[in-house]
């Protein structure tokens, strides 16, 4: 089975902090994705990556950056956290012609 | 661009009731269509999929048929159980650059009462 692991289930940070959310997949997938999930808005794509060191903006990239130094790891970075970034963050990965596999999510609270 | 519209929730049913969650889409070309399920406290899991018109995806008693003429992919189950309580997301896939990108609906919360 594909395993997508997000480093934290729950995280509490303060406004202005730099926050790192980590995601690791074990199936050698090329594509990895970061979404945020908010009530009534469904899932919105923040960034995705289709190869090491490659990244593309999704629908809501403002206030975020990403890093993909190794194929199995895709990091989401909040450069200066703000309260409107309190959300559930979901990581996903997929190989060629396969459905996306999701991690369990990180519930991030910015105080 | 592509979009997915699904039935707003929350939906509350009694055990053994019939379930329909409507999903319609707007897309160029011929997207693949998916239903994902999110149980409380967990990430999303693929429930079923259909890759071309008239395909029927099915899993765990759930079914959905890819209807190109009505651009719909409605989720159905004949007899729901308490364990089906979850949030259900309809989604389609598109190519963006070199990546396959999912577009999600807003999700429908289902609660099944014993």
- Read off the tokens for B62: 């759930």
Instruction: Please report the pLDDT score of residue B106 as a whole number.
Output: 87
A69-87 pLDDT, tens per residue?
Answer: 999 999 999 999 999 999 9
Please give the structure tokens belonging to residue A71.
Answer: 């194929």
Looking at beta carbons, which residues of chain A come within 8 Å of B102? 33, 43, 45, 92, 100
Q: What is the pLDDT of residue B96?
A: 57
Per the model's pLDDT, the better-predicted residue between A94 and B98 turns out to be A94
Three-state DSSP class for B83?
Answer: helix
Q: What percent of chain B has pLDDT over 70?
A: 94
pLDDT of B72 reads 96
Question: Best mutation site among A2, A42, A58 for testing chain B: the one with the most B CBs within 10 Å?
Answer: A42
pLDDT at B95 over 70: no
Where residue B43 falls among pLDDT bands split at 50, 70, 90? confident
Top residue of A32, A33, A99, A105 to mutate, by most chain B CBs within 10 Å, is: A99
What phi and psi, each to the nearest 5 degrees, are found at residue B82? -55, -35
CB atoms within 10 A of CB A8: 14
**Would you state the pLDDT for residue B27?**
86
Pairing mode, if any, of strands A10-13 and A106-110? Answer: parallel
């Amino acid at each position: 089975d594909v395993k997508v692991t997000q480093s934290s289930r729950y995280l509490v940070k303060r406004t202005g902090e730099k926050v790192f959310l980590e995601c690791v997949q074990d199936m050698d997938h090329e594509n990895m994705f970061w979404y945020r999930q908010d009530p009534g808005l469904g899932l919105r794509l923040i960034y995705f990556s289709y190869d090491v060191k490659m990244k593309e903006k999704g629908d809501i990239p403002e206030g975020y950056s990403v890093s993909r130094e190794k194929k199995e790891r895709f990091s989401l970075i909040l450069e200066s956290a703000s309260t409107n970034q309190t959300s559930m963050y979901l990581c996903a990965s997929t190989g060629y012609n396969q459905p996306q596999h999701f991690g369990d999510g990180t519930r991030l609270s910015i105080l | 661009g592509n979009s997915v519209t699904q039935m707003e929730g929350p939906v509350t049913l009694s055990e053994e009731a019939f379930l329909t969650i409507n999903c319609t889409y707007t897309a160029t070309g011929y997207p693949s269509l998916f239903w994902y399920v999110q149980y409380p406290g967990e990430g999303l899991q693929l429930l079923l999929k259909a890759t071309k018109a008239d395909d029927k995806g099915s899993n765990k008693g759930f079914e959905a048929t890819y209807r190109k003429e009505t651009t719909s992919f409605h989720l159905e189950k004949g007899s729901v159980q308490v364990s089906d309580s979850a949030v259900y997301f309809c989604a389609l896939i598109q190519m963006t650059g070199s990546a396959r990108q999912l577009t999600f609906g807003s999700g429908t919360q289902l609660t099944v009462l014993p």
